[in-house]
Amino acid sequence: MARNPVTWLGVPAFPKAAHEALADSQLRRNLRHATHTIRDKRARTVAEVPDWEELRRAGEAIKNDVLAHLDTYLERLEAAVTARGGVVHWARDAAEANEIVLRLAREAGTHEVVKVKSMATAEIGLNEALEAGGVTAIETDLAEVIVQLGHDRPSHILVPAIHRNRAEIRDIFRREMPGAPADLPAEPRALAEAARKHLRQKFLTAKVAVSGANFAVADTGSIMVVESEGNGRMCLTLPRTLITVMGLEKLVPTWRDLEVFLQLLPRSSTAERMNPYTSVWTGVTPGDGPQEFHLVLLDNGRTEALADPVGRQALRCIRCSACLNVCPVYERTGGQAYGSVYPGPIGAILTPQLVADPHDKQAASLPYASSLCGACFEACPVRIDIPEVLTHLRAKTVAAKPKASPERIAMKALAQVFGDPRKYEAAQKAGSLARSLMPGGKVTKLPWPGSLWTDSRDAPLPARESFRSWWRNNRG
């Protein structure tokens, strides 16, 4: 069953989108500068922690325990939230979650909600669903404001506007932001101040706020959001009604478990020792903060992913984006090329499992968006073996193809060549002879399907002499 919108509708399959991104030199410069800056800062802050590997293993163990006993912890969370004045809603898919949030907004008598940055709400297409129902969603995270005003799509889990530089942001603000000065400079402080003035009135008049959740504590029913700008704190305290949309897997069993993740997350995401703003709320406190709290627990394919012994480790993800910042594919293509709310290495293993539609070519292509270099596993703070899951999902994609598919026929022919020394050597000789037909030392253009490679890179020519031939001539 398809569960769109986990992928962006209308986006071409990864190879085509990646080729378009590779052709954008400004995009590549922006991405390289941003990812290398974050990567270098993260390396320094991680090096300060002598027990970093022990923390990674602890995070892995806690998350594995949650996934192994998810039903028990979810029931415990529901009981704790309800006992403290909150209301828990269960949503099987994006449509149910969107319907719940829209209904709650209407019951609160508002046509506008303020939002804390949330991957879960992006996953279900909440903004679009609210707009279709007559409710406007106002993003308050600075990067999300840039994306929303620019009628754009996010390209990074943590820094959605990472593909934009200062000049581009200034132009967007001048063109789209009400009240932005015509002479607004392309300076970070001036851009942030313009956004702050734009959002201030929204914070003060909002009746309803919508958030995601970084963690939820099963024992106490407490929900936690960590952020760097303070916009989240405004959303979580000023409106009368607070609605949190949270994936089922975001649980930790006890308060003590947060000690591990509050060391892993900030260093892996923003390269900080601690988050500037850590907001925690437990149900409703009379006379202080929101007086109505609703928790929407989102499945949307997670229980099906949980059933896969290899693929389920993707559910350990704490959305830090460390894997994106070290990925050579992401650095060159950006997040929009993935056509998924979750870009980069984690998106390549999470999106295909959440979509779970064999006919979705975009999702099926994502496990191939990797060099399998392993840098993502080394960076992951909860030790998700992303290369293992990538190869696992690739195998499932191949197994689902018909026996007469071009790929299967080609692989069968190659198996016959590689399985016979004489055929293999004859193929090597043919390749060496073909070299003379292509001067210049490289192949710059091939017909389809070889064009899928040469559209964005050159193909090397076969060697003038095979190793077998060299060995025979030189070593007898």
Complete DSSP assignment for 249-310: T-EESSGGGHHHHHHHHHHHHTS-SS-SEEEEEES-BTTBS-SEEEEEEE-TTHHHHHT-TT
Domain ranges of the chain: 14-303, 408-475
- Count CB neighbours of 418 within 10 A: 11
For domain 14-303, the CATH superfamily is NagB/RpiA/CoA transferase-like (3.40.50.10420)
> Which pLDDT score is estimated for 440?
66
Give the integer Cα–Cα distance in Å for 345 and 90.
29
Burial of 139 (0-12, 13-18, 19+ CB in 10 A): buried
Residue 262's nearest CA partner among 244, 243, 247, 276 is 276
> Which pLDDT score is estimated for 20?
65
Identify the band that residue 2 occupies on the pLDDT scale cut at 50, 70 and 90.
Answer: very low
Q: What's at 40, amino acid-wise?
A: D
Query: φ and ψ at 214, to 5 degrees?
Result: -80, -40
Q: What is the pLDDT of residues 442-462, one digit of tens each?
A: 777 878 877 877 777 777 777
Query: Could you tell me the CA-to-CA distances from 134 to 106, 131, 138, 203, 275 in Å, in that order?
Result: 9, 5, 13, 20, 35
> Which pLDDT score is estimated for 26?
77
Residue 256's nearest CA partner among 42, 117, 84, 65 is 65
Q: What's at 273, amino acid-wise?
A: R
Using a cut of 0.85, tell me whether the model's pTM lies above it.
yes
- Given a cut of 90, whether residue 84 has pLDDT beyond it is yes
Give the integer Cα–Cα distance in Å for 187 and 164.
13
Residue 377's nearest CA partner among 345, 352, 335 is 345
Task: Decide if 157 contacts 321 (C-beta within 8 A).
Answer: yes
> Which pLDDT score is estimated for 453?
74
- Count CB neighbours of 322 within 10 A: 29
What percent of the chain is predicted at pLDDT more than 90?
Answer: 69
> Which pLDDT score is estimated for 304?
95
Q: What is the pLDDT of residues 419-443, one digit of tens each?
A: 998 998 888 888 777 777 766 667 7
First to last CA, the chain: 61
Identify the band that residue 22 occupies on the pLDDT scale cut at 50, 70 and 90.
Answer: low
Q: What is the pLDDT of residues 145-192, one digit of tens each?
A: 999 999 998 888 888 888 899 999 999 999 999 989 999 999 999 999
Residue 278's nearest CA partner among 294, 259, 297 is 259
Give the integer Cα–Cα distance in Å for 440 and 97.
58
For 270-286, b/e burial (b = at least 16 CB within 10 A) is bbbeebeebbebbbbee
Instruction: Please provide the average confidence, as pLDDT, over all residues in the chain.
Output: 90
Q: What is the pLDDT of residues 369-398, one digit of tens each?
A: 999 999 999 999 999 999 999 999 999 988
Residue 83's nearest CA partner among 392, 252, 295 is 295
